[in-house]
Every structure is written in structure tokens, then in C-alpha cells.
Amino acid sequence: MDKNTKKSHTEMMARAENAVKKAAMEFSGNLTDRVHDLEQAIIQNSPQDIIRMAYELESEAATFGWPRVTRICKWLRKVFSGEFDNKPKAEEILKAIKSLKIMVSDPKKPDEDRDIELIRELYPILSRVVTDI
């Protein structure tokens, strides 16, 4: 690759990285509302909506750097798709949602230590229901 081609390639990748950063900011801005909508779908017991919303959040959170949100959403998607190993109790689902809400309570100031602790507390529930979570 000659010098000019290399420069153009670097510029192209920088433009692409910027596009991802911009999308990540937009995602963070809507995160609290999205989790609220997911909670409402659970309250209204609308499985198809829950699966769709959880999958969308799972994918987006993974792409934009929210791995623990991804994990809980993956768990919810599996639970409502019937892909669980042990039937979840209602209070376990509520606890997962509660943790999720805390994680996204202020997306502009993510708190990694708090989120690690929340996942640690939640893990026995998550893994009891979906063993390979």
C-alpha cells in the first residue's frame, strides 16, 4: 500500500469510527426511555414486543459499549422466547429489570463499578434460569 493509499485508508477508517461514536451518543441519549418501554411491555405481558425490544437493545448495547445491559437483555430475550433451562419466577424477572433500570439511570455518567456489582448480585438468578448466560 503506497503512502497516499494508506492515508486515504486511515481517513476512511477514522470517518467510520466517528460515525459509530455519533451513533453511540444517540443510543445513550435514548437508553433510559428504551428500558422504560421494555419494562412496560413486560408489565403488559406482550411477549413478541418484549423479545423484539430485548433483542434490539441487546444488539445495540453490545455495539455501543454497554456489555452488562446486553447480558440482561439477552437473558430477557431467552426467557420470553422460552429458551430457559429453569422456569423464572416473576420476582426474578422484576429484579433483572430493576438492575437494568439502575444501570441506565444516567447514561451520560455510566458507573462501571456499580454495574459490575449489580451483575454479580444478579448472576445466581440469571444462571439458574439460563445456565449458559
Partner 1 sequence: MELAELKNLKILIVDSNVFISKTLYSILEAFGIAEIMVCHTLEEAEKKYYNTEMDCIFVDFIMEDKKGIDFIKNIRAKQSSKNSSEIPIILVTGVTSIETIIDARDAGVSEIISKPFSPDQILQKLDNAINNKRQFIDVEEYIGPNRRRRKGNKSEWKGENDRRDT
Q: Which residues bind partner 1 (CB under 8 A)?
A: 5, 8-9, 12-13, 15-20, 22-23, 26-27, 52, 55-56, 58-60, 62-65, 74
- Which CB, 22 or 89, lies closer to partner 1? 22
CB neighbour list of residue 54: distance below 8 Å, 6 or more residues apart: 38, 73, 74, 76, 77, 80
CA distance 22 to 116: 26
Kindly state the smallest distance separating residue 25's Cβ from partner 1, in Å. 12
CB neighbour list of residue 78: distance below 8 Å, 6 or more residues apart: 84, 130, 133
Kindly state the smallest distance separating residue 91's Cβ from partner 1, in Å. 27
- Which CB, 19 or 94, lies closer to partner 1? 19
